[in-house]
A and B are shown apart, each in its own frame.
Chain A
Amino acid sequence: MVRIIDRRFDSKNKSAVNRQRFMRRFKNQIREAVADAISGRSIKDLDNGESVTIPSKDLSEPQFHHGRGGIWENVFTGNDQFSSGDQINRPQGGGGGGTGKGKASKDGEGEDDFVFNLSREEFLDVFFDDLALPNLVKTQLARIHEYKSQRAGFTNDGTPANINVVRSLRGALGRRLALGSPYRGQLRELQQQLEELLETRPEDDPEVLRLKEEIGILRAKIEAIPFIDTFDLRYNNRIKVPKPTTQAVMFCIMDVSGSMDEDKKATAKRFFMLLYLFLTRTYEHIEVVFIRHHTIAKEVNEEDFFHSRESGGTVVSSALEMMKDILHARYLNGAWNVYGAQASDGDNWENDSPHCRELLADTILPFVQYFAYIEITPGEPQNLWREYEKLIGTHANFAMQHIEGLPDIYPVFRELFKKKLV
């Protein structure tokens, strides 16, 4: 007797554990791939997975095999030209003849690098991993959308709690009018006839009595039309819409002077990305303004922002001036929430730093929700840091952080995040 078992609805992800093991084992390669991806991506592009390539030699599971060389004698099919004793040149590229070990691998994968795809969640996981975010924050950031329910007209069905009384009664009235109107027409006619008849005939004339009876029937029919019918009921309709449609603008200011090397820029990029992620949580629409500066500031596109290299001295105030100008020109009509993020190695022209502080305090901080400054330098804080330090305490919407490694980035946002939770 045969047993037929339907396993199709059994647990699906039997291999999930093995996949996790695989990810854990190749964490370093995956991290590198994510780091590469981050440097290659737009800071807004965090909603996609990533394909990760791992060199096949890292993945190999070695076994004892024969290598090439020595004497091999193999059998092939489809002889079309050979007789025994024939001498043949070795085929180029080693196909066929070679080791006879079937090393070309059955599935044609051969020696290619191993490529696989990270899902969006896995990608963010790795991204967050570097930044040492608390778990709560991770889940909140990784959530795609928050919805709120919103009225959207009326429907014909729903729960009793959502009945819209006015609409329902209006409908009922309309229905009663519509259904009753033919009777009412007849009624009016009969009444007119009756009046005419009464002028010539006495009250108890049989014709009059008949008309009165008919009028009575019609009235009863009109009465019989139900006051309200399930057909009349209208319900308030609610639909889910993605949460706030408010908008924000994010200013990214970065020092691109000679002292900012690629590593520092990569750190800065993560900082900007994280801020962007935080903002997407709260705002539907976000614009990003990129300002880079050395001695003079320039508004650029993202590509140039991260990849073009400049050299020379540093005048931070130039960037702040520019931010102020852009801010006032485009974003101060009350419709925008403004965020600022500045990254620098803190190496500023000495006399400029106090000016920066004033600029920030007087012309920028009053208009922004939040301004974060990170100083990416391995050593002692620089002069800009010392100036900015004076702002802390007097301005609640200002945060700064000295960053040596990636895990230092998150604390910058801690305050910001707390505020948003309330």
Chain B
Amino acid sequence: MSAKRQKRKQPLPAPGEWTFELIEAYHAEIDRVARNYGLDTYPTQIELITSEQMMDAYSSVGMPVNYHHWSFGKSFLQTEKSYRRGQMGLAYEIVINSNPCIAYLMEENTMTMQALVIAHAAYGHNSFFKGNYLFKQWTNADAIIDYLIFARNYLTECEERYGEEEVELLLDSCHALMNVGVDRYKRPEKLSLNKELTRQRERAEYLQSQVNDLWRTLPTAHVKTQAVEERRFPSEPQENLLYFIEKNAPLLEPWQREVVRIVRKVGQYFFPQRQTQVMNEGWATYWHYTLINTLYDEGLLADNFMLEFLHSHTNVVYQPSYNEPWYHGLNPYALGFAMWQDIRRICENPTDEDRYWFPDIAGSDWRETFDFAMRNFKDESFIAQFLSPKVMRDFRLFAILDDDKESKLKVSAIHDEEGYRRVREILSDNYNLGSREPNLQVWNVDLRGDRSLTLRHQAYQRRPLSGDADEVLKHVARLWGFAVRMEVAREDGSVEVLHECRQERRKTDT
């Protein structure tokens, strides 16, 4: 915080208890400063909720509306239990990537916390949602709430028509595949409620006819001629398992396909968030810190406000060391905050080291650089691009190589001249969804034989699938309707079948 205070204004009152008037007054000031910094945001909608409602929001993955499922009940019970026992504090806010951007503030927060949360969520996260390319590509802030309402109504309708049990089983299976319902390298279509509604029936009918066509394997002359050529299906391996099932599973009813699609769309909505933790949280943290400090420098904030604010902020960006019991990996808030601050430092006061490492940005206008970085990167590339030796030194980062064939772990690089690049590379890879999560592909469907589906796990660094993979496979089989196999392709070229889940389901007449 700059020592000079240009104007001495009357500070805003900072009582423990918030009031609506105060929230509005604080918001107006934060808004003014944020505009001065050029933050571009969706309009803000601040909603005050109780802790119970916060737990509700938690358990429906932060969404204001969602369909009903037992797993949400489970996570509510879990949250409630640990909250009641005091094992965990609730988050002070939840922010929803929608337009207008909805920020939930908890009623228990003090006025200081409310101001912090407004700066953090309603300006930090909000501007990130609006600007970052992943969010632009994968989510549609205008339509998400409408889509969720559509989804909930649709599922309720399905429950009425086909029974809760049936829908629940289907959802279980879909949820198991939620993480493999994204095309990582392909742009999705934009969500739009109208389109969804008008096309839904059309699509259902069309799909069904397509599928039937695909499976017309009755021994007719037509099929025989086709059988001569060795046709591969899918013609290329597919990584989006849910999409593949939605389009091609032979026995699903149209409504079931629609449910698969809903789960896929909702899962896809969270896809950018999984890839921008460090950036997004760091960005929001950087901005709450900067905005509040700017207000303080203008003399708008009282000292007791600042003390409480700094206390909370320090907790948020605390990074324990590897050997402390509460170490849970890198704290994305801490790392992100440090990196954004460091970028500003490089822009404003570059050292020789910075000029060598970051010739492009050293000495540039920090706001432009920020804007560029925020818009065009995700964690993986952000770290690869902007993690500076100074931050690595500050965090005392080091990399450990854990090879299960070796008896000992090896320190592969540390925060020194030889290690900077390597550490950065490894850390960037740690945030790469592609290597963090197993690489699975829809490999083949036995069109002419038993209609079985083969999934292939392309093993990377000899990493195996976890033990519950066969459980997931059962879910795949439930959706597919026929036998499902999981094979692993090792890096040495060998292929082996890991699990097989046999299933023979006859389509029930409806």
A residues contacting B by CB (< 8 A) are 1-8, 10, 12, 14-15, 17-26, 59-80, 82-90, 96-98, 100-102, 104, 106-109, 114-116
Contacts and interface: CB of A to CB of B under 8 A. Distances in A.
B413 interface: yes
A116 B85 CA distance: 12
A69 B464 contact: yes
Nearest to B393: A79
Interface string B366-401: 000000000000000000000000000001111111
A80 B462 contact: no
Contacts of B23: 4
A109 B76 contact: no
Given A61-B175, A76-B322, 18 more contacts: A2-B122, A15-B55, A15-B60, A22-B73, A22-B74, A62-B471, A63-B472, A66-B437, A66-B463, A67-B466, A71-B402, A73-B400, A74-B402, A75-B423, A77-B319, A78-B323, A84-B411, A88-B400
B471 A72 contact: no
Given A2-B44, A79-B397, A21 B73 contact: yes
A107 to B, nearest CB: 6
B472 A64 contact: yes
B108 to A, nearest CB: 11
Given A18-B59, A106-B328, A85 B404 contact: no
A5 B46 contact: yes
A413 to B, nearest CB: 33
Contacts of B192: none
B461 interface: yes
Given A63-B179, A79-B414, A3 B46 contact: yes
Contacts of B436: 66, 101
A87 B461 contact: no
A79 B107 contact: no
Given A61-B71, A69-B464, A75 B427 contact: yes
8 contacts: A61-B175, A66-B438, A66-B463, A75-B330, A79-B397, A84-B416, A107-B78, A107-B88
B35 to A, nearest CB: 13
Interface string B26-46: 011001000000000001111
Nearest to A59: B74
B176 interface: yes
Contacts of A14: 53, 56, 60
B415 A79 contact: yes
Given A69-B463, A84-B416, A108 B87 contact: yes
Contacts of B60: 14-15, 18
A89 B408 contact: yes
B73 A3 contact: no
Given A7-B47, A79-B414, A83-B411, A64 B71 contact: no
A21 B414 CA distance: 50
A80 B73 contact: no
A82 B414 contact: yes
Interface string B93-108: 0000000100010010
Interface of B: 20, 23-24, 27-28, 31, 43-50, 52-53, 55-56, 59-60, 68-74, 76-78, 80-82, 87-88, 100, 104, 107, 122, 164, 168, 172, 175-180, 319-324, 327-330, 395-404, 407-416, 418-419, 423, 426-427, 429-430, 436-438, 440, 459-469, 471-472, 475
Contacts of A65: 437-438, 465-466, 468-469
Nearest to B424: A75
Contacts of A102: 328-329
B426 A73 contact: yes
A84 B412 contact: yes
A84 B49 CA distance: 50
A82 B398 contact: yes
A16 to B, nearest CB: 9
Contact of B465 (A3, A18, A64): A64
Contacts of A3: 43-46, 100
A1 B81 CA distance: 38
B157 to A, nearest CB: 15
Contacts of A100: 402, 430
A271 to B, nearest CB: 32
A64 B400 contact: no
A22 B168 CA distance: 11
A73 B399 CA distance: 7
A66 B404 contact: no
Contacts of A2: 24, 27-28, 31, 43-46, 122
B437 A76 contact: no
A6 B48 contact: yes
Contacts of B69: 18, 21
A70 B408 CA distance: 14
B309 to A, nearest CB: 20
A17 B176 CA distance: 21
B27 A77 contact: no
Nearest to B405: A71
A66 B466 contact: yes
Nearest to A10: B53
A315 to B, nearest CB: 51
Nearest to B76: A15
Nearest to A54: B74
A71 B405 CA distance: 8
Instruction: Kindly list the 8 A-B residue pairs having the minimum CB-CB distance in the complex, ordered from nearest.
Output: A78-B321, A22-B73, A18-B73, A70-B463, A70-B462, A67-B466, A62-B471, A62-B468
A90 B321 CA distance: 18
Given A4-B48, A22-B70, A86-B410, A96 B322 contact: yes
Nearest to B403: A71
Contacts of A69: 404, 462-464
Contacts of A114: 74, 77-78
Contacts of B49: 7-8, 10
Contacts of B70: 18, 21-22, 24-26
A73 B427 CA distance: 9
A167 to B, nearest CB: 48
B432 to A, nearest CB: 12
B410 A64 contact: no
Given A25-B168, A73-B400, A100-B430, A64 B438 contact: yes
A63 B468 contact: yes
Contacts of B100: 3
Contacts of B172: 61
A3 B468 CA distance: 46
B400 A109 contact: no
Contact of B322 (A5, A78, A90): A78
A62 B176 contact: yes
Contacts of B407: 90
Contacts of B471: 60, 62
B31 A21 contact: no
Nearest to B164: A21
Contacts of A107: 78, 82, 87-88
Nearest to A65: B466
Contacts of A7: 47-49, 53, 104
B56 to A, nearest CB: 4
A69 B460 CA distance: 11
Nearest to B72: A18
Nearest to B462: A70
A71 B461 contact: yes
B437 A64 contact: yes
A75 B384 CA distance: 14
A18 B66 CA distance: 11
Given A69-B404, A70-B461, A62 B322 contact: no
A69 B415 CA distance: 26
A75 B76 CA distance: 33
A391 B423 CA distance: 89
Contact of A4 (B20, B395, B468): B20
Nearest to B81: A116
A83 B82 CA distance: 40
Residue of B74, B178, B426 ringed by the most chain A CB atoms within 10 A: B74
A96 B56 CA distance: 32
B330 A77 contact: yes
